[in-house]
A = this chain, B = another copy of it.
Amino acid sequence: MSFTLQAESGGARAGVLDTPRGPVQTPCFMPVATQASVKALDADDLARLNPRAILANSYHLYLRPGTETVKAAGGLHAFMGGYDGFIITDSGGFQVLSLSKLRAVDDEGVTFRSHLDGSKHRLTPESVIAVQAELGSDGWTTLDECPPYPCAEADAARALERTRRWLDRSVPAVAAARAAGAKSLFFPLYQGGLHPRLRRPSAEHHNDCPADGISIGGFMVGEDKPTTWAMLGETTALLRADRPRYLMGVGTPSDIWDAAACGVDMMDCVYPTRVARSGHIMTASGKFNVTNARFRRDFTPLDPECSCFVCARYTKAYLGHLLRASELAAYRLLSYHNLHFMAGVAAQARAAVLAGRFASARADFLARLSS
């Protein structure tokens, strides 16, 4: 097994995932490099931030610059300028449904038109693994059919059955890629968590499938947060404990603690960089907007507790000025701070589990965040 569970506390887990790019300590928050770039940051920034795992997106990279181009560059790590950590790739199933036009899902796969140029494409469970193998990512997910929310149980069951058959077809595709030399970890997609009667059979099917981890999709699709955590907790209770659980597309600083409390080990989200670009700054005592008039002559750092290079060098007044003036440097600097903060939150949650005081640390964190 590539995952070592080190400790549990308050429902949360601390562990280490051994990857072809070195160990990843969990819980972890993974920055998102959808198009082979963590938005506004470059590879030097990434080396300084030093996340040991990030997410990239198969669908986007398949369409642009194209799988062949990334492969010819020597794979995603080299293409990006030499990132040395673990890259897991989203299968693209979600993006096909949310971004592309004229999509048609059949039992064999998905046909769609590119949101970029209207060109026609087809993805199958097998081709999605092949794409990820060519991209050279270190963690592979599977093609899934992500049902809309809300969704009638019968429709959800149909989508789930298809996702399940696609998973079964992905397994030999992964085996073939590994036989050809790939060392990537297999993180098949789990769906069905929001439907109590579908949840268990879906979990059992996943537990029986050969895999290194589980990518949990289908949450945060429109349901309210109490529903998310209730359903997520019931889901993880059904999943085998010896595999890392990656909750896709989550989340905010409080989400890190709430998801970890449900036994989640890995997360990713564009949230920290997206809100940064409109000036929202994350700190342990909550979020504020640096363009707020009250910071016009505030010559203190964004976050006095922060050790990032942005907080070491710049003031709220200057960063707010840059953003007001639409100066591009602002997007990078604010994004870096927020990602640095999120890495710290995940590290805090991990330390709390290892110290056996997760529940109280979570309560303290959430109390201060909303203070």
| B-binding residues in A (CB < 8 A) | 35-37, 39-44, 60, 64-65, 69, 72-74, 79-82, 296-297, 299, 309, 313-315, 317-318, 321-322, 324-325, 327-329, 331-333
Contacts and interface: CB of A to CB of B under 8 A. Distances in A.
A80 B330 CA distance: 12
Contacts of A299: 72-74
Contact of A65 (B35, B39, B82, B317): B317
Given A313-B82, A315-B73, A329 B40 contact: yes
Nearest 9 A/B pairs, CB to CB: A40-B328, A37-B327, A65-B321, A35-B325, A81-B313, A42-B329, A81-B314, A37-B329, A328-B331
Nearest to A66: B296
Contacts of A324: 64-65
Given A35-B325, A64-B324, 4 more contacts: A40-B327, A42-B313, A60-B325, A73-B315
B40 A317 contact: no
A313 B82 CA distance: 8
A275 B108 CA distance: 47
16 contacts: A35-B325, A37-B325, A39-B327, A40-B328, A42-B313, A42-B332, A42-B333, A44-B309, A64-B321, A65-B324, A69-B321, A73-B317, A79-B315, A80-B318, A328-B328, A328-B332
A322 B64 CA distance: 10
* Copies of this chain in its oligomeric complex: 2
A309 B45 CA distance: 12
A72 B324 CA distance: 18
A311 B50 CA distance: 22
Contacts of A39: 327-329
Contacts of A82: 313
Given A37-B327, A297-B69, A325-B37, A79 B317 contact: yes
Contacts of A317: 65, 69, 73, 79
Nearest to A45: B329
A41 to B, nearest CB: 6
Contact of A318 (B79, B315, B328): B79
Contacts of A74: 299
A332 B72 CA distance: 25
A73 B322 CA distance: 14
Contacts of A322: 35-37
Nearest to A320: B65
A69 B297 CA distance: 6
Given A36-B321, A327-B39, A329-B41, A69 B296 contact: yes
Contacts of A40: 327-329
B332 A296 contact: no
Contacts of A36: 318, 321-322
A44 B318 contact: no
Given A36-B318, A296-B65, A321-B36, A43 B313 contact: yes
A324 to B, nearest CB: 7
A82 B333 CA distance: 15
